[in-house]
Structure 1
Amino acid sequence: MALLTLIRHGQSTYNLENRFTGNTDVELTPLGKEEAKRAGEKLKNITFTTAYTSMLKRAQETLQIVLEELKQTTIPVIKIAAFDERRYGSLQGLNKAETALKYGDAQVEIWRRSYDVCPPDGESLKDTFNRTVPYYKQEIEPKLKAGETILIVAHGNSLRSLMMYLENISPEAIAEVNIATGSPRLYTFDNELKLMSVNYL
């Protein structure tokens, strides 16, 4: 049996301000740090062997807080751009409500939620999938097969990409999926990595 845990970083300053963040490297808010601490508390019964995160400090700090809460700060931590948030291009830093007034709610929703439509000068979820999932398959699946217990702390869209792969979610259905900040998602697999269960904490 293999166990994989995914956590979206805690609330960031741009989350709080309702801005498009993308790969802008913003900080956690005090609430975001508390969300990370609570995530760690929920995982007290799990011993991780390896952790992965993105190159962005909001994910890295969330992971650090989780591992401190678990007293597991000595495990290997791998930081990799494959798990970075998708780039929102020229929308990054803009307020989402103001952007919706300018372009219309429908257009903004397409930019945010569709699978293969890019925001101006940015990445689509498909682009994010094409860098996140191959890395996962190459680097993490062999470790899961070997019995390691893996923790990934990343971002809404890089994790939505992984969910598509892990849960066989269609491009149409993923548009309805939103991942809360700081909420662990646990995947249990058999020895051949067939998905047995998904639990939300």
Structure 2
Amino acid sequence: MAKLFLVRHGQSQWNLENRFTGWQDVDITELGQQEARQAGLALANEPIDIAYTSTLIRAQHTLSIILHEMGDPPIPIVIDAALNERGYGKLEGLNKAETAEKYGSEQVHIWRRSFDVPPPGGESLKDTYERVIPYYERFIAPKLKEGKNVLVVAHGNSLRALIMFLEHLSPEQILEREIATGQPIKYQIEE
């Protein structure tokens, strides 16, 4: 039986500033580094065979701190844009509260929390799902089937898409799911 560990990157600078981050390459804060260290300590006794992360620095930096806390196991690290955060398009960089004032809180809530309505020029959670799940099935699931333990360090929405798939959640159910920064989520994967 293999284990799959999912970790959302530690707090980023734009999380702290309440800004839409999406595909912008923003690093983690000091608190984000602490969260990553805590995640590494929580996973210290778990054997990891391979790690996957996105192309964005906040996920890669988090992964590197986690692995350091785990004693820097000599494992392959795979970096792929398929695991990147949901693209927020024209909202990226904007303050969420100011955006709600400009477009109305109801519209911003729809952009952020509906399953299939994308923000202007961005991706919906459904779009993100359609990017993440084929990648998971093609590259990550086969490793789990081989009995390998896998660590994925990614983003709130790319991980929500994966959790939706793994737990067979409806669009309504996944919209209620929050994923804390730096908190490992563990799955036992049966053959």
Question: TM-score, with normalisation over the residues of structure 1?
Answer: 0.93
Question: In structure 2, what is the equivalent of residue 135 of structure 1?
Answer: 135
Question: In structure 1, what is the equivalent of residue 162 of structure 2?
Answer: 162
Secondary structure (helix, strand or coil) at the match of 1:74 reads coil
Secondary structure (helix, strand or coil) at the match of 2:171 reads coil
Question: In structure 2, what is the equivalent of residue 48 of structure 1?
Answer: 48
Question: In structure 2, what is the equivalent of residue 26 of structure 1?
Answer: 26
CA–CA separation in structure 2 for the residues paired with 1:80 and 1:189: 22
Q: Which runs of 4+ in 1 moved over 4 A?
A: none
Matched AA of 2:36: A
Secondary structure (helix, strand or coil) at the match of 1:25 reads coil
Secondary structure (helix, strand or coil) at the match of 1:172 reads helix
Question: In structure 2, what is the equivalent of residue 106 of structure 1?
Answer: 106
CA–CA separation in structure 2 for the residues paired with 1:4 and 1:50: 10
Listed as ranges, the gaps of 5+ residues in structure 2 are: none
CA drift at 1:174: 1.2
Matched AA of 1:14: W
CA–CA separation in structure 2 for the residues paired with 1:87 and 1:140: 22
| Cα-Cα RMSD | 0.7
Matched AA of 2:187: Y
Matched AA of 2:64: Q
CA drift at 1:105: 1.5
- Identity across aligned pairs (percent)? 60
Question: In structure 2, what is the equivalent of residue 174 of structure 1?
Answer: 174
Contact 1:64 1:73 in 2 (8 A): no
CA drift at 1:73: 4.1
CA–CA separation in structure 1 for the residues paired with 2:171 and 2:13: 29
CA drift at 1:72: 2.9
Question: TM-score, with normalisation over the residues of structure 2?
Answer: 0.98
CA–CA separation in structure 1 for the residues paired with 2:6 and 2:90: 28
Listed as ranges, the gaps of 5+ residues in structure 1 are: 193-201
CA drift at 1:102: 1.2
| Residue 144 (structure 1) aligned with residue 158 (structure 2) | no
Question: In structure 2, what is the equivalent of residue 196 of structure 1?
Answer: none
CA–CA separation in structure 2 for the residues paired with 1:52 and 1:91: 27
CA–CA separation in structure 2 for the residues paired with 1:158 and 1:40: 20
Question: In structure 1, what is the equivalent of residue 72 of structure 2?
Answer: 72
